[in-house]
Structure 1
Amino acid sequence: MNPSGAPVRRFGAGHGVVLALSVAVVTAVAVLLAQFVAVVPGDRAYAAAGIPATGPMLPPGENPLYAIQEVLEKQSAALLRGDRAGYLRAIPATQGELRAQATARFTTLTALRVRKWTMTTIGIPGRVDDIWKLSVDISYCFDRDDCAPLDARVETRWAVPDGRLQLVAYEGSDRPWDDGTALVVKDGARVTVASADADPAILDRVLRAAEAAAVTNDRFATTLGGAPQRYHVYVAGDEEWLEWYGGASENAAAFTIPLAPGVSDVVVDHGTVTSDGWATTLLTHEFAHVVSLGGENPPYSAWWLTEGIAEYIANTDGSVLEDDLRSVRRYLAASKWDGTVTLGPPPSGTSLADANARYGIAFLTVQYLADRFGEERMLAFFTQVVRRDVAVDAASRSVFGTAWSPVAKDAASSIRAAAQA
């Protein structure tokens, strides 16, 4: 609930499932590689110079492919067995920054309970001057031995000073666990929360709210394809908010990133975690994307339905309806709505108040469908349109037994009546 009546900074118009449905499955471009270097955040690359000869021996003129594979295999094995010394063994003590970053990454990945981590080279290294370039695919996952693996790719650069292989450069990933800073990780029954923020009160509040949100969404998940193995929430500080997964748009308070079937990450701006109630509402909305989308990207045209059901699920105490109705009333009073219920995401430059109104219209449309046809059929309609990409009219005829046009017209009338009440 928003007692002040001011627009809620929940949504934005350009990033993430919550924001514009334009997100693609995000592929990380780097992870901690080999035993020689740590990732630099963002899209920057780190060039190592003067690294002591600590890598595998390589005969003159030999392609380094097999030596690179050996290095990656040893590093992966050390990570999975929790061998910090083995993980860091080949990083010289003189490379303090690299060693510190590698230590931070090892600490974070271990705290997140990394269970799968394989690194597969792609093709054969190509040489430019004295530098070898090679793509590497990473498959990883957390929590359980049977966890669903995620894929990432990194572009690596290697050199062979004094006959020994060295990793000298690679791009940095925008994944939260891969920014070179150790995250604080806490576990609940269904949720893992990781934070770059040093304030333990914020982390504890997010964990409490996330556990409550998980209970609500686990109930809906039984109809929407099943609950995730575990919910993962990353709490971003000011700097991380601008970098993780490419950063969020200006009006967002949180966003959800589909990564693979059954797996999504949620990122929350630490500055918006102002109360238990608000944090619970926010995370219930985000977890609704996790369970309703199942790690897949929805059709762009289904923005209204994707966001509407997230608002519907988040409306556990009526506060979402109260806030959304307030925004919709102002929107309609300003004659900004033409009666279309199948709205797309807020265009770039949309004010926060108008963006919230579009979410409100989406919610009220979903609420109308649930009231008229029952929640079970509303969820079945959602599954047809969003999960199976069935045309709205075809889904309406199949699930509701009637064409979509009169349903949409009645929904619009219902929204106008609610806004005037």
Structure 2
Amino acid sequence: MWLPLGLVAALVLCVAPVGVGVMVFRGLDSPAWPAAPGPGVAPASSPVAGDPDRVTAAWLRERIGTALAAQGTALLAGDQAGFLAAADPASPAGATLKAQFASLRGMKVTRWVPSADSIPSSVGARRWRTLVEVEHCFVEPDCKPMTITYGTVWTDTTAGLKLVGIEPSMSTYDGPRPWEVDQLVVATGKRVMVATTPALRKQLPTVLAEAEKAAVVADRYAVGGPPPAHYEVFYAGTAQWKRWFGGSRPSWTAGYALPVGGRQVDVVINAAAPQRNNLDDLLRHEMTHASTMPPNGFPTSAWWLVEGIAELAASGGAAPQSYEGIQEVRKVVRERGWAGPLEDLKIADGAADWEVAGAYGIGYLAVRQLAERFGEPDVLAFMKALTHERMSIDEASREVFGEPWSVLNAQCVAAVRAAVR
């Protein structure tokens, strides 16, 4: 096959290995995203010597689209050779796709629809970069799809146009996904899918068993609709904790939950954290976040309520003196003189463990106070009004509890302080 050299000759390619045979191409602007040819539009002509760059670009876009469509079909059919066929086997992309195929099949992928609607841009001699967007689902045959966007680099070879570079999605919010940058081993139960790395394979049965029990609890706290159709838990080793979903969590974080598109909220557990946190408590806490979280995440002003409800699920509603973090609450109240309001309760990224535990405990004791007075259903209705419907806290309090928030805040603060006398 012959192609004209270079669509935009001024761009220079810079390559660095990342993760499982992944290449990152830095310093390249993403191309514009014009609409792809619609139904009934004739296929782009194969370029010949002397054709304008736009002719080559249109032809490349169609060829890439065809390769991606075949790749998606192969993935859903369990055809590894077909999934790898788009890549040059000698390139890092070949190793990346092989790892991704194993991970995605293990995660029970049910939808995989890639598209590349942008015009490819030249990044060197016979190399072109384009963005790929993938709609995808796991476990559920009919889910509201999640989407990711990542960069790809293609080159002309004697075997035709081949994929040679795959960039991990680098959204500051949620990229890269675990299956993009690490080969995963997966265990699936009735309500939960747990994925980790081969190095932690032996821990999978324990994590899955505890997650299945945690799902029963988290289901009871679902807000804004039915419980999740399934929970996804990623169990991260040290390197993965720093890489998955962008890493960069505060040093005191033992786990987190974040919405990843569609209706899915993924849970990530730091494999090192259960040394100082009970795994069962940690899973109940984070999976309750997954069952209560709105699609656009929680407002920061409701931090105390969000963490308090998660602690309510984790602790089983333990009495104040039986609550595991009561000593840390006492320290925050007595040594730091905490006296509310609840909306101002925050944790600095570099906070000490006792400060973190104390703040979580304050949220728990405040939520427990509300639950004792009004019942858990009303507390969850309050959370829905505040975090899903984005009402002001006073509006939500008056609508759900029938009282102004200033009064209830004072009662909650008093209950916290009374618990540590």
After TM superposition, the score normalised by the length of structure 1 is 0.81
Change (3 A) 1:383 1:330: same
- Do the aligned partners of 1:202 and 1:270 also contact (CA within 8 Å) in 2? no
* 1:133-182 deviation per Cα after TM superposition (whole angstroms, max 9, x unaligned): 32221100111210221010112233335693233333224211111x42
Conservation of the 8 A alpha-carbon contact between 2:68 and 2:86: no
Is 1:144–2:143 an aligned residue pair?
Answer: no
Q: 1:155 aligns with which of 145, 148, 151?
A: 151
- How far off its partner does 1:212 sit? 0.7
Structure 1 unpaired stretches of 5+: 1-38, 48-56
- The answer as to whether partners of 2:20 and 2:99 remain within 8 angstroms in 1 is no
Aligned residue in 2 for 1:125: 120
Instruction: Indicate yes or no: 2:245 matched with 1:245.
Output: yes
Structure 1 outlier segments of 4+, above 4 Å: 90-95
Q: 1:163 to 1:104 in 2, by over 3 A?
A: closer
Alpha carbons of structure 1 residues 89 and 237: separation in structure 2 relative to 1, 3 Å: same
1:183·1:196 contact (CA, 8 Å) conserved in 2?
yes
Which residue of structure 2 lines up, in the alignment, with residue 227 of structure 1? 227
What is residue 288 of structure 1 aligned with on the other side? 288
User: How far, CA to CA, are the matches of 1:200 and 1:45 in structure 2?
Assistant: 26
Q: 1:135 aligns with which of 95, 120, 131?
A: 131
Corresponding residue for 1:318? 318
Comparing 316-325 with 333-342, which one deviates more in the overlay?
A: 316-325
* In 2: Cα distance, 1:392 partner to 1:213 partner: 29
Matched-pair contact (CA < 8 Å) for 1:80–1:115: yes
How far residue 69 of structure 1 moved from its aligned partner, in angstroms, is: 0.7
Letter in 2 for 1:253: A
Letter in 2 for 1:241: W
Question: In the TM superposition, what whole-angstrom CA distance separates every residue of 1:336-367 from its partner, at most 9, and x where no partner exists?
Answer: 41322223431232222112211111111111
Q: 1:348 to 1:251 in 2, by over 3 A?
A: closer
How far apart, in 2, do the equivalents of 1:233 and 1:182 lie? 15
In the alignment, does 2:386 pair up with 1:385?
yes
Pairs within 5 Å for 1:202-221: 202-221=203-222
**Range 227-236 or range 115-124, more displaced:** 115-124
How many residues in Structure 1 have an aligned counterpart in Structure 2? 369
Paired residues of 2:121 and 2:130 also in contact (CA < 8 A): yes
Q: 1:172 aligns with which of 168, 171, 193?
A: 168
- Determine the structure 2 residue equivalent to 1:59: 47
Residue range with higher mean Cα deviation, 342-351 or 280-289: 342-351
C-alpha change, 1:153 and 1:98, in structure 2 (3 Å) is: closer
- SS in structure 1 of the partner of residue 148 of structure 2: strand
C-alpha separation in 1, matches of 2:266 and 2:389 = 22
- Contact 1:125 1:134 (C-alpha < 8 Å) held by counterparts: yes
| Equivalent residues of 1:299, 1:386 under 8 A apart | yes
After TM superposition, give the deviation of residue 237 of structure 1 in Å: 1.1
Q: Secondary structure of 2:141's match?
A: coil
Shift of residue 207, structure 1, vs aligned partner: 0.8
Alignment of 1:187-202 (within 5 A): 187-202=188-203
- 1:261 Cα deviation after fit: 4.4
Distance 1:81 1:345 in 2: 48
* Pair 1:45-2:23 in alignment: yes
8 A contact 1:225–1:291 mirrored in 2:
no
Report deviation, 1:81. 0.8
Query: Partners in 2 of 1:349 and 1:267 — Cα distance?
Result: 20
Paired position in structure 1 for 2:84:
88
Q: CA deviation at 1:315?
A: 1.5
Give me the whole-angstrom Cα distance separating, in 2, the residues matched to 1:136 and 1:271.
34
Paired position in structure 2 for 1:301: 301
Provide, for residues 202-260 of structure 1, a one-character-per-residue CA deviation record: whole Å limited to 9, x for no partner: 21211111011001111222x54211111111111111111001113211111111112
Letter in 1 for 2:243: E
Report the counterpart of residue 114 of structure 1 in structure 2: 109
SS at match of 1:138: strand
Instruction: Give the unaligned 5+ runs of structure 2.
Output: 1-16, 26-44, 170-175
SS in structure 2 of the partner of residue 225 of structure 1: coil
Overall identity of the aligned pairs, in %: 33
- Matched to 2:348, the amino acid is P
Partner of 1:395: 396
Q: Is the 8 A contact 1:300 1:344 kept in 2?
A: no
Matched, 1:78 2:74: yes
Structure with higher Rg: it is 2
Question: Cα offset for 1:120?
Answer: 1.5
Which has the larger displacement, 408-417 or 247-256? 247-256
Do 2:194 and 2:208's aligned partners in 1 also have CA atoms closer than 8 Å? Answer: yes
Superimposed CA distance per residue, residues 45-102 of structure 1 (whole angstroms, 9 cap, x where no aligned partner): 357xxxxxxxxx953442211111111111111111110121223545545x654432
Once residues 224 and 93 of structure 2 are traced to their aligned partners in structure 1, the CA distance between those partners, rounded to angstroms, is 44
| Counterpart Cα distance in 1 of 2:151 and 2:113 | 15
Distance 1:100 1:159 in 2: 16
* RMSD between aligned residues: 2.6
CA distance in 1, matches of 2:375, 2:21: 48
Q: Contact 2:256 / 2:286 at 8 angstroms: preserved in 1?
A: yes
How far, CA to CA, are the matches of 1:256 and 1:45 in structure 2? 27
2:99 matched residue in structure 1 = 104
Aligned to 1:370: 371
Using CA pairs under 8 Å that are at least 6 residues apart, name the structure with larger relative contact order, 1 or 2: 1
- Do the aligned partners of 1:186 and 1:193 also contact (CA within 8 Å) in 2? yes
The offset of 1:296, in angstroms, is 3.2
Counterpart amino acid of 1:178?
Answer: E
Distance 1:283 1:239 in 2: 20
User: Matched residues in 1 for 2:154 and 2:334: separation?
Assistant: 63
Name the CA distance, whole Å, in 1 between partners of 2:90 and 2:20.
Answer: 25
C-alpha distance in 2 between matches for 1:400 and 1:43 = 55
SS of residue paired to 1:234 = strand
Contact 1:264 1:294 in 2 (8 A): no
CA 1:419 to 1:65, structure 2 compared with 1: closer, same or farther past 3 Å? same
Do the aligned partners of 1:361 and 1:415 also contact (CA within 8 Å) in 2?
Answer: yes
